[in-house]
Structure 1
Amino acid sequence: MMKRKISGALKKWRQEEQGRTALLIDGARRVGKSYIVEEFAKEEYKSYIVIDFNRVNKEVKELFINYLNDLDTLFLYLSNYYNVKLYERETLIILDEVQLFPKARAAIKYLVGDGRYDYIETGSLMSIKTNVQDIVIPSEERHLNMYPMDFEEFLWALENETLMDYIRKCFSEKKPMGQVLHRKAMDYFRQYLIVGGMPQAVEEYIRTRDFDRVDRIKRDILTLYRADIIKHAKGYEMKTEQIFDDIPAQLQKHDRKFKVSSLKKEARLRDYEDALFWLDDAMIVNICYKSSAPTIGLRLNMDRITLKCYMADTGLLISHAFDENGIVSEELYKKILFDKLEVNLGMIVENIVAQMLVAGGHKLYFYYNSSREDTSSRMEIDFLIAKNKISNRHNISPIEVKSSKNYSLKSLQKFKAKFAAQLHTRYILHPSDLKIEEDIIYLPLYMTSLL
């Protein structure tokens, strides 16, 4: 069994809520939701039922319509249909892919109110209109997002239980890892870059250590995403597919900003808003918005027109981007593994940083000013994050991502000159070891998740 951090959140929910809320786990397809919930059910409950709305027949669906006023009969039917004995406060009922049958989601209000059993819903596309129309979204739902495996979970899967503890220690003490352990951590990190965090891909890598086979798994997931777009992005499936297919090309540009004019001449972002929202809600992408000022309310200064669109999983991005022959060559993977890839590495590294920040609970924002008149104002900062405890000043940390050892600090210096009162800590994320120079903290890329 692959160890996932979300298991701890599931246990905490059970202990604290005692059936007062249902848990809704939202995540991209193939991110491991169903697997982790069923493993949790086996460990923590006397019995459980999985109602998979992708497969379930009409009769079971109708139970949630016909018997909400007679829950005794509903539970009797479910117990007999699934041949599972139900125990009060000791049974978990899992509503899998619940977005495919919104009426079951609406029924949560009554099921939780009854109080006999626990309920976990899993799914994706939870906010799309077709999945919420004609239902009242239950206030008894507690939401939890599930992301691809993070770097620490990847290390656990590779049976390394100790390296991340040392990385954490060095981060908290602001000390370098030292040449040997830094090199070891970067070797693991490059493997994580290539494989990504989709559990099936990680499992295949552990089993075979064969990048070609891992690539086939990732391609299957990309094919599944395309099929989902055609099936579920009703009315704007072509635009959604256009954006999806264009993500690597947009990220390869120097500034990485998403320009819809490259999809269609004179296109406006508002023409593609529904398509972007669909991909974001499906958790296939991570959207990073421009913030016009680095103040406490990054969201208040958000510019919805200027954005970057990252893939939610960097392993998938690599398979998506290098698609010339339908399979990424082993040669490309070797170049990434041995740090010999010159082109495109910037987009891959920036994508993994975005992925790690999102998994760490951050909303994504960047700063950009293209002023032609004032060169001191012309700059771009890859990411902005707010510190945990907000004070009157010095709340925002600018982050610059560097994929190689040669880089300039011009934007970071201009940023400090212009916004000194708002700045907390300036960070450079780079492939080298931790160091502090002046007031800039240089962190190895694998420490991103600790910010």
Structure 2
Amino acid sequence: MVRTAYEHLKKWKERKTRRPLILRGPRQVGKTWLLREFGEKEYECSVYINFEENTQIASLFSGPPSVDRIITGLGLCAGHSIDPASTLLIFDEIQAVPQALSCLKTFSKDAPEFHILCASSGLDAALRAGAAFPAEWVEVFDLHPMSFFEFLLAAGKESYVTMLRERRYDLTPSYRQDYIRFLKYYCFVGGMPEAVAAFSERRDFSAAREAQRRILTVYEQGFSKSAPAEALPRIRMLWNSIPRQLDRDNRKFIFGAMKEGARARDFETALAWLTDNGLVRDIHRASLPESPLEASEDVRAFKLFLPDVGLLGCLLGLRQDTLLDDNAVFWAYHGALTEQYVLQQLDSLNQMVVCYWVAERGTAEVEFLVDNCMDAIPVEIAVEQNLQSKKLKVFREKFHPKQSIRTSLSDYRREPGLLNLPLWALETL
């Protein structure tokens, strides 16, 4: 596997002002593999501690923080002394020991020579529960499912990625059908590393689907293991409703569609637990499409997505033979898979604020708005070759954005104030 986050870790290692880094993301997204792979290739030695499995190690972090005591204990655990110049310390699921989380400040202040990488699948949940978090003394980086480019690399299509990264849009029209074919594969397989690996070995869609089912089982078992008991029924109800709601033309998540009379406040704890653990992605409506988008987010109107397009397809029961039916997969379930795909690629760019826009009377809608710290840029999903959609036209006439983006199956083209970016090239955004 090739993960672009690996390059981020290399830059982190080279920084003189390096601080402990926490790799945040849902379970099964590849955090542990990436950190162990990085330790094996970039360091002479690495010490790996899983705080959920190694309960004895928690005692090292109790009481007043002491770098000497912790390093001595880790050396005893590893069976050798720890040289800060050549050893990587990997703390997996660090949120399981809140004292270890707070000790990162001590390492950052008093012992910056140590290289510490952490992984967490429930960091936000731990913070909501009251764990102390030394925000100014650590770095947090989000790891998402594998992007479409990473999927192409896993499938042995390096030249296809190179063409797009080098912006060779004079060449890509000759390969458009190949890009579309692999994009359809990605909409079925998704970006969870286990599913991608199962597919890549022998182009086995059934193996990918079995991997997706295993991942979903891990998620659903996690509800019972770590979710608040009183919120468990609502967590399951909310989780099960997301695919059905995405398979509709809803302009926001409708609580009443789950259960007659259901109200938002009844599901606050359930929704918070799912989002804090990275199992649900919430996108809010922006009442005013201006930068910064956070300032105009409507907390009452939002859409919910899953972490991965492949998992969504699994829950929706997407059949393999749909991939043979021209471009039907992009239209399936009211375009839910395509919308999930686009959001997933936007998220893979990291640290980008994403919202959506709906006119006050619901007469027009733009699927996504992205904030580049200067402007709110509309991103419309058109899919078909006919690019005469009125959705983006209404938005442009009303707000006059400097730049607008339409993503579709059509080739790259640029007009004044409007860029048509192929769906398979979204990572060049």
**TM-score normalised by L of structure 1:** 0.87
In the alignment, which residue of structure 2 is the partner of 1:224?
218
Q: Deviations over 1:242-290 (max 9, x none)?
A: 1211111111111352111111223222322332222222222221110
Aligned in 2, Cα 1:436/1:74: closer, same or farther, shift over 3 Å? Answer: closer
State whether residues 48 and 91 of structure 1, in contact with CA within 8 Å, keep that contact through their aligned partners in structure 2: yes
Quick check: 1:417 aligned with 2:397?
A: yes
RMSD: 2.3
The SS at the match of 1:94 is strand
Instruction: State the distance in 2 between where 1:166 and 1:100 align.
Output: 43
In the alignment, which residue of structure 2 is the partner of 1:330?
320
**Deviation, structure 1 residue 437:** 5.5
In the alignment, which residue of structure 1 is the partner of 2:370?
385
The correspondence for 2:37, drawn from 21, 27, 39, is 39
Which region of structure 1 is more displaced relative to structure 2, 89-98 or 215-224?
89-98
Quick check: 1:8 aligned with 2:7?
A: yes
Instruction: State the distance in 2 between where 1:293 and 1:380 align.
Output: 13
The SS at the match of 1:166 is helix
Q: Please, which runs of 5 or more residues in structure 1 have no aligned partner?
A: 323-327, 373-377
In the alignment, which residue of structure 2 is the partner of 1:193?
187
The correspondence for 2:296, drawn from 293, 296, 301, is 301
State whether residues 100 and 131 of structure 1, in contact with CA within 8 Å, keep that contact through their aligned partners in structure 2: no
Aligned in 2, Cα 1:176/1:243: closer, same or farther, shift over 3 Å? Answer: farther
**Deviation, structure 1 residue 66:** 5.2
User: What code does the residue aligned with 2:46 have?
Assistant: Y
In the alignment, which residue of structure 1 is the partner of 2:418?
440
The correspondence for 2:209, drawn from 211, 215, 218, is 215
State whether residues 396 and 424 of structure 1, in contact with CA within 8 Å, keep that contact through their aligned partners in structure 2: no
The correspondence for 1:292, drawn from 264, 269, 287, is 287
Quick check: 1:205 aligned with 2:219?
A: no
The SS at the match of 2:383 is coil
In the alignment, which residue of structure 2 is the partner of 1:365?
355
State whether residues 22 and 108 of structure 1, in contact with CA within 8 Å, keep that contact through their aligned partners in structure 2: yes
Instruction: State the distance in 2 between where 1:415 and 1:340 align.
Output: 28
Instruction: State the distance in 2 between where 1:237 and 1:305 align.
Output: 23
Instruction: State the distance in 2 between where 1:346 and 1:176 align.
Output: 29
**Deviation, structure 1 residue 353:** 0.3
**Deviation, structure 1 residue 351:** 0.7
State whether residues 164 and 428 of structure 2, in contact with CA within 8 Å, keep that contact through their aligned partners in structure 1: no
Instruction: State the distance in 1 between where 2:334 and 2:263 align.
Output: 29
In the alignment, which residue of structure 1 is the partner of 2:380?
400
In the alignment, which residue of structure 2 is the partner of 1:325?
none
In the alignment, which residue of structure 2 is the partner of 1:339?
327
User: What code does the residue aligned with 1:13 have?
Assistant: W
**Deviation, structure 1 residue 56:** 0.6
In the alignment, which residue of structure 2 is the partner of 1:74?
70
Aligned in 2, Cα 1:136/1:144: closer, same or farther, shift over 3 Å? Answer: closer
Instruction: State the distance in 2 between where 1:169 and 1:88 align.
Output: 38
Aligned in 2, Cα 1:120/1:178: closer, same or farther, shift over 3 Å? Answer: closer
1:145-184 equivalences in 2 (<5 Å): 145-170=142-167, 175=169, 177-184=171-178
Quick check: 1:99 aligned with 2:95?
A: yes
User: What code does the residue aligned with 2:231 have?
Assistant: Y
Which region of structure 1 is more displaced relative to structure 2, 281-290 or 398-407?
398-407
Q: Deviations over 1:122-148 (max 9, x none)?
A: 111212257752535363211111111
The SS at the match of 2:124 is coil
State whether residues 290 and 306 of structure 1, in contact with CA within 8 Å, keep that contact through their aligned partners in structure 2: yes
**Deviation, structure 1 residue 431:** 1.4
Which region of structure 1 is more displaced relative to structure 2, 88-97 or 110-119?
110-119
Aligned in 2, Cα 1:157/1:332: closer, same or farther, shift over 3 Å? Answer: same
State whether residues 219 and 319 of structure 1, in contact with CA within 8 Å, keep that contact through their aligned partners in structure 2: yes
Aligned in 2, Cα 1:274/1:364: closer, same or farther, shift over 3 Å? Answer: farther
Q: How many residues align?
A: 425
In the alignment, which residue of structure 1 is the partner of 2:120?
123
The SS at the match of 2:211 is helix
Instruction: State the distance in 2 between where 1:68 and 1:449 align.
Output: 42
Quick check: 1:25 aligned with 2:15?
A: no
Identity score, percent? 26
Aligned in 2, Cα 1:408/1:133: closer, same or farther, shift over 3 Å? Answer: same
User: What code does the residue aligned with 2:278 have?
Assistant: M
In the alignment, which residue of structure 2 is the partner of 1:375?
none
Q: Deviations over 1:356-383 (max 9, x none)?
A: 11111322211112428xxxxx211111
Instruction: State the distance in 1 between where 2:360 and 2:69 align.
Output: 65
User: What code does the residue aligned with 1:79 have?
Assistant: G
Quick check: 1:354 aligned with 2:348?
A: no
**Deviation, structure 1 residue 162:** 1.9
Aligned in 2, Cα 1:275/1:176: closer, same or farther, shift over 3 Å? Answer: farther
Quick check: 1:140 aligned with 2:137?
A: yes
Aligned in 2, Cα 1:129/1:77: closer, same or farther, shift over 3 Å? Answer: closer
User: What code does the residue aligned with 2:423 have?
Assistant: L
The SS at the match of 1:162 is helix
